[in-house]
Amino acid sequence: MEERRKTQMKWLGAGVLIILIIAGSGIIFTQNKNSAGRSLNPSIESQVRIQEWIDAMNARDYPRLYALAPDFIRTGIDESGFVRAQAGNPLFAEGSRITGFQVLNQTVTGTNATIATMIILNSTGGGSGNVSQSIPIYIKFIEIYEHGAWKIWAT
């Protein structure tokens, strides 16, 4: 009788352990975090990254834009060259400001994401009257998880 009771307790303990493992795994997978607590799912963070990119664009914060860029961009140009190259960027024209965006489509493959987005560029027109106009611009963002953070670039 005692042996039967020990066997039942072992099975009960094993059952509890299995439930804890399943519950813990479920929590980890639903939160989709790496060991540093950062999200590994760009669909969760994509709008945050796009908003950071837009904020840097609107502030004309070229060093911040450069810092948000993935390695494949930064290895091709240094920060000072990147800053100089922005002089002719129409998104940086005087009076231009991105006032909103909408994610149209998102494709995630491992630690890479492609996000089709429509941004709204509010631009003051030249000439007399300085008429403001909202221009929809379709941009594809690339997000790459590298060095413990998501990096973003508009193509």
Q: Which of 152 and 123 is assigned the larger pLDDT?
A: 152
Per DSSP, what are the bridge partners of residue 118?
102, 138
Q: Which of 31 and 6 is assigned the larger pLDDT?
A: 6
- pLDDT for 34: 46
Closest CA to 143 of 49, 7, 19: 49
In what side-by-side order are the strands of the sheet with 149-154? 97-109, 112-124, 132-146, 149-154
pLDDT digits over 95-150, tens only?
788 999 999 999 988 888 999 999 998 887 655 556 778 889 999 999 999 988 88
Domain that holds residue 122: 42-154
- pLDDT for 9: 62
Whether 32 maps to a domain, the answer reads no
Whether 24 maps to a domain, the answer reads no
**What total number of domains does the chain contain?**
1
Q: Which of 105 and 90 is assigned the larger pLDDT?
A: 105
CATH number of domain containing 139: 3.10.450.100
Q: What is the pTM of this model?
A: 0.67
Rounded to the nearest angstrom, the gap between the alpha carbon of residue 69 and the centroid of all alpha carbons in its chain is: 11
| DSSP symbols for 9-58 | HHHHHHHHHHHHHHHHHHHHHHHTB-TTS-B--HHHHHHHHHHHHHHHHH
Torsional class of 47: left (φ above 0), alpha (ψ -120 to 50), beta (otherwise): alpha
Whether 65 maps to a domain, the answer reads yes
Contact 74, 146 (CB under 8 A): no
Contact 117, 98 (CB under 8 A): no
Rounded CA separation 109/80 (Å): 32
Whether 26 maps to a domain, the answer reads no
pLDDT digits over 12-70, tens only?
555 544 554 554 444 444 444 444 444 445 455 678 899 999 999 888 899 999 999 99
Rounded CA separation 119/61 (Å): 18
- pLDDT for 70: 94
Whether 12 maps to a domain, the answer reads no
Whether 30 maps to a domain, the answer reads no
Contact 86, 105 (CB under 8 A): no
Whether 21 maps to a domain, the answer reads no
- pLDDT for 30: 43
Q: Which of 145 and 91 is assigned the larger pLDDT?
A: 145
Whether 34 maps to a domain, the answer reads no
- pLDDT for 5: 66
Assess whether pLDDT exceeds 70 at residue 88. Answer: yes
